[in-house]
């Protein structure tokens, strides 16, 4: 039986932590669609491409040159851009903000959504992102919308950045969270939305194990 889990929500709501744990628990493939947009943005940055100043044809050619892939190592998923490991480079705060600008481009979205849909056709997946239930897999067996207050999300993001050696003041991280929320929720194409049938889980006052157990209950109900 093929099961497709759509895990949507804003940055810092715990999607990737939960996505990886669920995938491991049930033997499903984890697809971090945010990493695909982040790696695409890194390519733009490294090639001095400004997302606001390219047209659709140029953008389509750029997308032909970008290949993002994943591999597991030491219990974590590594992200590769055209064969080189960019796992750390895509998570800097500079690249996070650029990603929201690149993710607005319809040609970028079309190319990445097609790849994501192909992955979801082949196997059971846990796919995390912003538009998974609304656009990528509207007929997913389980649709979860993870939420958390901006303050809690900023705290989590700060700890994540610190663990990677980038330390930023809380206020700056919070401001970035607000800015990314604004861009992701108000863009013209595929904005972040909670679809009506999604189950909303507010993780603000839950620890990771509690969230995980809650999500496992929903998956178990499908099996």
To the question of whether residue 9 is assigned a binding role by annotation, the answer is: yes
Least distance in Å: CB of 108 to ligand C5P? 9
100 forms part of the interface with ligand C5P (CB under 6 A): yes
Task: Count Cβ neighbours within 10 Å for each residue of 118-155 and write b for 16 or more, e otherwise.
Answer: ebbeeebbbbbbbbbbbbbbeebebbbbbbbebebbbb
Q: Which is nearer to ligand C5P, 163 or 223 (CB)?
A: 163
Dig out the tokens for 111 from the structure.
């190319």
83 is in an annotated binding site: no
Backbone φ, ψ for residue 147 (5° rounding): -130, 155
**Interactions with ligand C5P, residue window 107-146 (CB under 6 A):** 129-131
Whole-number minimum distance, CB 36 to ligand C5P, in Å? 7
Which range binds ligand C5P by CB under 6 A, 17-25, 43-51, 57-65, 95-103? Answer: 95-103
| Binding flags for ligand C5P, 149-188, as an x/- string (CB under 6 A) | -------------------------------x---x----
**Sheet (strand 4-8) strand order:** 29-32, 125-129, 4-8, 142-147, 199-202
- DSSP state for residue 53 in the 8-state scheme: G
What are the C-alpha distances in Å from 91 to residues 36, 43, 86, 153?
12, 13, 9, 15
* 11 contributes a contact to ligand C5P by CB under 6 A: yes
Exactly one of 68, 103, 133, 211 binds ligand C5P (CB under 6 A); that residue is 103
| Distance from C-alpha of 43 to C-alpha of 66, rounded to nearest angstrom | 7
Distances (CA, A) of 215 to 124, 126, 174, 197, 200: 16, 12, 27, 16, 11
Return the residue matching tokens 């863009």: 187
Sole binder of ligand C5P in the list 28, 37, 43, 44 (CB under 6 A)? 37
Q: Count the alpha carbons within 13 Å of 163 in the hemisphere toward its beta carbon.
A: 8
Q: Is 99 annotated as a binding residue?
A: no
Q: Which is nearer to ligand C5P, 113 or 221 (CB)?
A: 113
CB atoms within 10 A of CB 35: 24
Q: Least distance from C-beta 58 to ligand C5P, angstroms?
A: 20
What is the closest distance, in whole angstroms, from the C-beta atom of residue 161 to ligand C5P in the complex?
A: 12
**Residue placing its CB nearer to ligand C5P in the complex, 30 or 37:** 37
Residues contributing to the annotated binding site for ATP: 9-17
Residues contributing to the annotated binding site: 9-17
Q: Using CB under 6 A, list all residues that contact ligand C5P.
A: 11, 33-34, 37-38, 99-100, 103, 129-131, 180, 184
């Amino acid at each position: 039986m093929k099961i497709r889990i759509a895990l949507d929500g804003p940055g810092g709501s715990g999607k990737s932590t939960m996505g990886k744990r669920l995938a491991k628990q049930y033997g499903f493939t984890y697809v971090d669609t945010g990493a695909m947009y982040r790696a695409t943005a890194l390519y733009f940055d490294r090639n001095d491409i400004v997302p606001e100043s390219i047209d659709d044809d140029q953008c389509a050619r750029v997308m032909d040159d970008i290949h993002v892939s994943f591999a597991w190592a030491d219990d974590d998923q590594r992200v590769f851009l055209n064969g080189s490991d960019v796992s750390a480079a895509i998570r800097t705060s500079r690249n996070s903000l650029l990603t929201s600008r690149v993710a607005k481009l319809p040609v970028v979205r079309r190319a990445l959504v097609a790849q994501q849909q192909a992955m979801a056709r082949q196997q059971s997946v846990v796919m995390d992102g912003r538009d998974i239930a609304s656009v990528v897999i509207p007929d997913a067996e389980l649709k979860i919308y993870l939420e958390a207050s901006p303050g809690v999300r900023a705290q989590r993001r700060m700890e994540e950045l610190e663990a990677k050696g980038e330390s930023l003041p809380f206020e700056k991280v919070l401001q970035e969270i607000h800015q990314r929320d604004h861009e992701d929720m108000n863009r013209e194409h595929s904005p972040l939305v909670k679809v009506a049938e999604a189950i909303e889980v507010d993780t603000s006052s839950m620890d990771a194990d509690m969230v995980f157990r809650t999500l496992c209950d929903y998956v178990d109900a499908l099996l």
